[in-house]
Structure 1
Amino acid sequence: MFNKKLFLAVSFSALVLSQPSKAVIGPIKITLNPTELSSNYFNEVDTFAPFSSEVYTQDDIKNSKATNIYDFLSQNTSLSLAASSGNRFSKKISARGYGLTVGSHNLVATLNGRRLNNIDTSGLEIAGININDIERIEITKGSGSVIYGDSAMAGAIHFYTKKNIQTKISTTSGNYGTTQTSASVGINDEKIDLNISIDNSKHDGFHKAATDGIKDKGEETKSSIGGTYTTEGGTEISLDIYRTNSDIRYPNYLTDDQFDADPAGNGSGSRYTYRDAESNTTNFKVKRIWGENFKFTTNRSSINKESKNLYSWSTPPLDNYVYDYDSSDYLLTYSNNNIKIDSGVSIFDGARKIESTSASTRNTTSKDNLGIFSQLQYSNDDLIFTIGARNEKVDYTYDPEVGTKLTGKHNLNAFDIGVNTNLTPNITVFTNYNQAFQAPLIDRFFTSSGAFNGFMKPSKSKTLNLGLNHLTENSKTKVTIYRSNITDEMFLCKPNAASDCTGNWGLGENLNLDKSHKQGLELQNKYVFSPKWSTDLNYAYTIAKIDSDDKGNGALNGKTNPMTSKHNISASVIFSFSDKTNMTLTQKYRSEAFAQEDYANIFTKKQPEYNSTNFNFSFNPNEDLSFTFDVENLFENSYGTRLRDNVIYPDNSTRNIKAGLTYKF
């Protein structure tokens, strides 16, 4: 059992003891110095930001030895992640108390500024990101609604790719048939940058085979090609093409007795859920410099996705979901001495077409967003001040094959104001007030049987952040406290003894909570004890409460949001044997929570705690060659996502061992 009290005591001691002292950073590079942020169009160092942020550099990502985006976010950040209904290639993400049930709906994800959000509840489209291409990850919490608009209630996750300047290949093999092979090529000269990468990962299954003899195996391939041309006048023209293919099977739910007896079992023996998906993205971006003070950026992208699904209870042929997204972003930046103004327009047109064997469920549903925003930033040697506002119009169209075509719309506003100032040369403090919104995802308009149920209210939030940054020669510490008040938070209300919710097959109905709130404390600390020893800590304490509900005669008043852990801890110890040999031990812990459907807090059993210990050993005989050895879930702790009593979707319960080799040409 993880000793929470002892760990927290050590954590806060590290904060108190972070006093200036001379230290030499060892063979593993730990990013203690301030790092420039690009999110929110800030372009200043993170310790001077007027909002809460986490930033992870290329060195942080490399030192983590994570082989995919999900593993890095899960093991190193304040975010909570869990497999979506057992699907390890698609994970739910939560921040700031929105819970793993709907947390992904309240976050924005971007890749080089391009949104990765879906128009339905399938979550953030980040599985296709190749971690080997990432230069920096920035997480902004409780801010970003002015720039990114719809869904930025909890904040945003930003991924920025690097320019490859070399040819590199890597391969990893492990138990359960786990393999990963990656290759990248970079061609660079004065005016042209060309980057090509491909990554393939697969496993033979972590659970017992179904009655058809097939296990929960999966394979995913990600490829990209991108180029940038810089003209004599400094204009940058970029074209990027991404492609992702996945062919996966993932586990069905288990009963409590089945999970306790064998979390890697199949339970009923029925076939695993099958998903065959493909995604193609084209992104075209132009940056122009106009005179001494203006810069104009256009970013246009087109995405086509197709997903075929065969569930354990359904019969062939597969249901087919086809997505078409088109977006255009226009940004004008004015800079003059201490003043910077970013103003822009963002246009998004998204549609999902359901091709089903049943004519009653075949339809095309669209969600179109048009946002206009402006943000001012003023800075001097001791202070940065930002203020901005956004107006966004959202239009919906429901066009069924059988039935009446319907339309709906929302007119929504966002606002943000923040300030950061120096207290001492080593300490900065900031405060930030943010108003954000989430327009309903299109799945919210349907009943559990697939029939149209009408348009819902959008959710709105008001968030206050107060934070402190403390930077010394051997330590970097960030502390933030926050409070968010939410109106009309969306949820799926399931029928139970404490509610009068309805729904076909007992699957519930989509509703709004009148009022709810989130509050908590976030702590980050990196500490270099000596040239050989260093630590990295990330802790989040979260309270998420329902203040009043609009269904069930107040039965949910004062209850805790489901799938929201009070304690979320990620801690790493890094030891450098020499300039060539390093070892990392990482502990990830997330306390228990109420089950996914337990908004009334009445179920007998709770969502179990998450506890995983990971070990990594790396050896770099020279600059071109690297060997790694990884053990994930060292003590074979079992974890699953609990929907309700006697229904739990298994996640990781195995000890996973991998060895890898990377070579640079």
Structure 2
Amino acid sequence: MENKKLTKHTISVVASLLIATNLYSTEQLSTVTVTSSLIETTEKDATYTTEIYTKQDIEKSKSKDVYDFLNSQTSVTINPSYGNTFTQLIDLRGYGIGSGFQNVVVSVNGRKLNNIDLAPQLLSSISLESIDKIEIIKGSGSVQFGDGANAGVINIITNGKNQNYIKTYLGNNGTKNGTVSLGYSNDNLILNAFLDYTSTNGTRATSDGSKDEKRNKNKNINLIYFPTDDLELRIGRTYSNMDIKYAGSLSLDEYKANPNQSSGFTEQIFKSYVTDVGATYNISNNYSFDLNFSDENKLSEYSSGFSSIYDYKSFNSKFNIKQDNYKVAIGVDGFNGDRIGSSDTTTKENKALFVSGEYNLTNDITLSAGARKEKVEYTYSPDSGTELEDKLNLNAYDIGINYKLNENSSIFANYNRAYQAPDIDRFFASTYVLSGGSYIKTTTFNGFIEPAKVNNFNLGYTNIQKNNKLKINLFASKLRNEIYYYKVGFTNRNTNIDKSYKYGLELFDKYLINDNLYASLNYSYIIAKIDEENESDGAYNGKDLPGVSKHNVTLNLGYNINNFKTVLSHTYRSSAYAANDFENDFSQKQEAYHSTDLSLSYDYKNFEFFAKVQNLFDEDNALWIRDDAVYPTNFERTYYAGLKVKF
């Protein structure tokens, strides 16, 4: 029987040494294994669209955090959530910057980060330095993750033995960072510990000189134990503590005059405690069993006095069958989430069964299929008043085929059925009434709106050579009851778009020009349309979904010689309608986004010296919500420099 324990240790240690000591004299491109899907495969053999970034890709970018990396290196669109840079808005494949984050699942080692309310995923709780790989699966993933995987899944993988190092950097605006990473392993044990702290004095200021200062501290410890060659036991604990001040919107004139200004700040304290427990047992060479449990407790508290306590518990198990010409995964998922407010408790509970299989029809043809059945239950329990309940039964399907054209290239086609159950905030509407010279907010029950359902169609081509990696994908998505939020006058409302659709082209190419020089391109063309929306009496019919850029580009040019590395990158997103402009008639549009970044690094023995300039040409960038509601983002040149010492 293969010694799984030693195999895993050997791969982990050798890979770490190769990266740490830079033994590769010339880079070569190769097929990367997709490890976060239900059934492990390679990007060349996958029956769905993949976009994969290794630890080397992440390290070369010299990005500050996960949001920075996704925004500047991938096809994912990122924007601060109404000025909040710690819980930023995410969009993939044209669901809009307003609600896109609820249509993509973000997971860390299989644990979903999606919330039960309108709060975006908290990627600031993950240190970029701790990540081994990021796998983006587009237009698929609903069989594995279910609720919310309409656009796809962003899988973040941190498993493996950490390097031992200390890292620090300093930048403008009083930016400071310190990171300590420790890892130890032997034949029976892998132990990791991680501490990361970042703070900044901020970029926007009030008339009295107060600024939007921020701090973020993440701590993590993980233990993997192999009592036998066939059994792996895992336990981990993560703690995050964030204190952030973020500024409100500006009018267009204020933004043009001085994007650094602010009339005041919202202050939020956020704490998160996560405990993960898991096990993998290899029954034989052909059968294995995975079991994972997670307990997360969060506190969100604002300076206004409003606070919420979250209690999330999730469970999943999977039975794996692996034969010579087929693989099967069968499992169950469970999630229970409570949000305890000052006057109510709201619960969302998910239970699911799933099965997924892959069959090698011939040496060149791979077929895949999967299904998921999920039950979602809601309970709203006010401290006074009537308790409300609702139940949903939802189904996901996935069918794909991959055909190898030759040793280096393949084509694939995929159909995926996905869904999004409404979050708990979608059931309420807010109205502001003028009383005594000020507006009083009144919240009323909006009704249990419909879940969104989408049919995804994908067609792709992959070609991987030693010096070039090319991926071309065509996609189309047909939706019913796409969920959205709009504001009309003094009423905020959540409702459904009856029919909508999206289609587009995705292109990725990385080319090694010579031993020292490489270039990469990531381009997506997206059309997102509202087909039919009855609540607006047809006013939105045929309109573009707001907050979606048609053209999205990230370009990279990298140069490596001896121990010196430099990367010049540019991110561009074309103009779009403001996030609330469903009728496409606001006088102000979302302006095009431009940012050019330059990073430099030099390795000397166990020391790495690095520096980066972001938004090199000092471009003005912002998020438009509506007329004269402009939130500046990445609107000035920033820079930082630091040192990493390995031991």
Q: TM-score range by the shorter chain?
A: over 0.9
* Cα distance, 1:389 vs structure 2: 0.5
Decide which of 455, 463, 468 is 2:456's aligned counterpart. 463
Residue 416 (str. 1) matches residue 416 (str. 2): no
1:411 and 1:28 map into 2 onto residues whose CA distance is 55
8 Å contact 1:86–1:251 — kept in the other structure?
yes
User: 2:604 is matched by which residue type in structure 1?
Assistant: P
Q: Distance in 2 between matches of 1:210 and 1:274?
A: 17
Q: Which residue of 2 aligns with 1:485?
A: 478
1:222 paired with 2:218, answer yes
**Normalising by the residue count of structure 2, what TM-score does the alignment of the two structures yield?**
0.93
Distance 1:28-1:446 versus aligned 2 partners, 3 A rule: farther
Q: Corresponding residue for 2:86? A: 89
Structure with greater strand percent: 2
SS of the residue corresponding to residue 125 of structure 2 reads coil
Q: Which amino acid aligns with 2:547?
A: M
Q: Give the CA deviation at 1:291.
A: 3.0
How far did residue 582 of structure 1 move? 1.4
The percentage of counterpart residues that share the same residue type is 36
Cross-structure match for 1:309: 302
Shift of 1:508: 2.2
Aligned mate of 1:559, from 530, 543, 548: 543
Instruction: Please give the per-residue CA displacement for 1:619-654, whole angstroms capped at 9, x wherever unaligned.
Output: 1122x1100011000111111111111111121211
Contact 1:542 1:567 in 2 (8 A): yes
Measured in 1, the distance between the counterparts of 2:294 and 2:563 equals 42
Q: Which amino acid aligns with 1:479?
A: I
Structure-2 residue corresponding to 1:348:
335
Q: What is the aligned partner in structure 1 of residue 33 from structure 2?
A: 36
2:410 counterpart (425, 428, 432): 428
Deviations, residues 39-67 of structure 1 (Å, cap 9, x unaligned): 32231211110000100011111111112
- Name the CA distance, whole Å, in 1 between partners of 2:159 and 2:29: 20
Residues 280 and 303, structure 1, Cα contact 8 Å, conserved in 2: yes
Aligned: 1:279 with 2:279? no
Secondary structure of 2:98's partner? helix
Please provide the CA RMSD for this pair. 1.4
Residue 649 of structure 1 is matched in structure 2 by 631
CA contact (8 A) 1:140 1:156 kept: yes
2:446 to 442, 449, 453: 453
Matched, 1:255 2:242: no
Amino acid at match of 2:383: E
CA contact (8 A) 2:106 2:113 kept: yes
Aligned residue among 139, 152, 157 for 2:154: 157
Q: Which has the higher contact order (CA 8 A, sep 6+)?
A: 1
Corresponding residue for residue 643 of structure 2: 661
Q: 1:367 aligns with which of 326, 345, 348?
A: 348
Distance change in 2, residues 1:629/1:119 (3 Å): same
* One-letter amino acid of the counterpart of residue 115, structure 1: K
Residue 574 of structure 2 is aligned to residue 591 of structure 1:
yes
Displacement of 1:165 in angstroms is 4.9
* 1:69 corresponding residue in structure 2: 66
| 1:244 counterpart letter in structure 2 | S
Q: How far does the alpha carbon of each residue in 1:76-121 deviate from its partner, in whole angstroms, 9 at most, with x for none?
A: 0001000110111221010111011100000001111111110111
Take 2:319 and 2:444, find their aligned partners in 1: how far apart are those partners? 43
Question: Aligned partners of 1:646 and 1:474: how far apart in 2?
Answer: 48
Q: Gaps (5+ residues) in structure 1?
A: 1-24, 311-315, 356-361, 496-504
Structure 1 residue 293: deviation in Å?
Answer: 2.3
Distance 2:312 2:444 in 1: 24
- Residues 600 and 468 (structure 1 numbering): CA distance in 2 closer, same or farther, change over 3 Å? same
Is 1:600 the equivalent of 2:589?
Answer: no
State which drifts further: 29-38 or 248-257: 29-38
Tell me what 2:322 maps to.
335
- 1:515-594 equivalences in 2 (<5 Å): 515-576=499-560, 578-594=561-577
Which moved further from structure 2: 154-163 or 242-251? 154-163
In the aligned structure 2, how far is the partner of 1:131 from the partner of 1:124? 15
The structural deviation recorded for 1:29 is 6.5
The amino acid of 1:548's aligned partner reads E
1:139 aligns with 2:143: no
Structure 1 residues 210 and 370: CA distance shift in structure 2, 3 A = farther
Distance in 1 separating the partners of 2:270 and 2:205 = 24
Unaligned stretches of 5+ residues in structure 2: 1-21, 431-441
CA distance in structure 2 between the partners assigned to 1:411 and 1:217 by the alignment: 45
Q: 2: distance between equivalents of 1:387 and 1:243?
A: 38
Further displaced range: 241-250 or 27-36: 27-36
Give the match's secondary structure for 2:601.
Answer: strand
Aligned equivalents of 2:207, 2:188: Cα separation in 1: 55
1:333-360 deviations in Å (ceiling 9; x for gaps): 11121111101000000010112xxxxx
One-letter code aligned to 1:234 = D
Matches within 5 A, 1:167-246: 167-209=164-206, 211=208, 213-246=209-242
Task: Specify the SS of the correspondent of 2:429.
Answer: coil
- Supply the distance in 2 between the matched residues of 1:633 and 1:112 (Cα, whole angstroms): 32
Shift, 1:180, TM fit: 1.0
Q: C-alpha displacement at 1:470, in angstroms?
A: 1.2
Q: Is the 8 A contact 1:585 1:614 kept in 2?
A: yes
Output the amino acid matched with 2:344: N
Q: CA deviation at 1:214?
A: 2.5
Distance 1:486 1:290 in 2: 42
Cα distance, 1:257 vs. partner? 0.6
Q: Residue 481 of structure 1 contacts residue 522 of structure 1 at CA under 8 Å; is this kept in 2?
A: yes
447-456 or 642-651, larger mean C-alpha shift: 447-456
Q: Give the SS at the match of 1:652.
A: coil
Amino acid at match of 1:404: T
Contact kept in structure 1, 2:162 and 2:181, CA below 8 Å = no
Residue 608 of structure 2 is matched in structure 1 by: 626
Q: 3-state DSSP class of the match of 1:534?
A: strand
Which residue identity lines up with residue 369 of structure 1 in the other structure? N
Q: 2-side partners of 1:445 and 1:210: how far apart?
A: 39
Give, as a single letter, the amino acid of the residue that structure 1 aligns with 2:126: I
Report if the CA contact (8 A) 2:27-2:515 is conserved.
Answer: no
Change (3 A) 1:548 1:31: farther
The residue identity in structure 1 corresponding to 2:216 is E
CA shift, 1:605, in A, is 1.0
Does 2:320 match 1:299?
Answer: no
Is the counterpart of residue 636 in structure 1 residue 629 in structure 2?
Answer: no
Distance change >3 Å, CA 26–CA 575, structure 1 → 2 = farther
Contact residue 130 and residue 162 of structure 2 kept, 8 A: no
Per-residue deviation at 1:166? Answer: 3.8
CA shift, 1:433, in A, is 0.1
Residues in 1 aligned to 2:175 and 2:469: alpha-carbon distance in whole angstroms: 36
3-state SS in 1 of match to 2:405: strand
How far does residue 558 in structure 1 lie from its aligned partner after superposition? 0.4
Tell me the amino acid that sits aligned with residue 358 of structure 2: Q
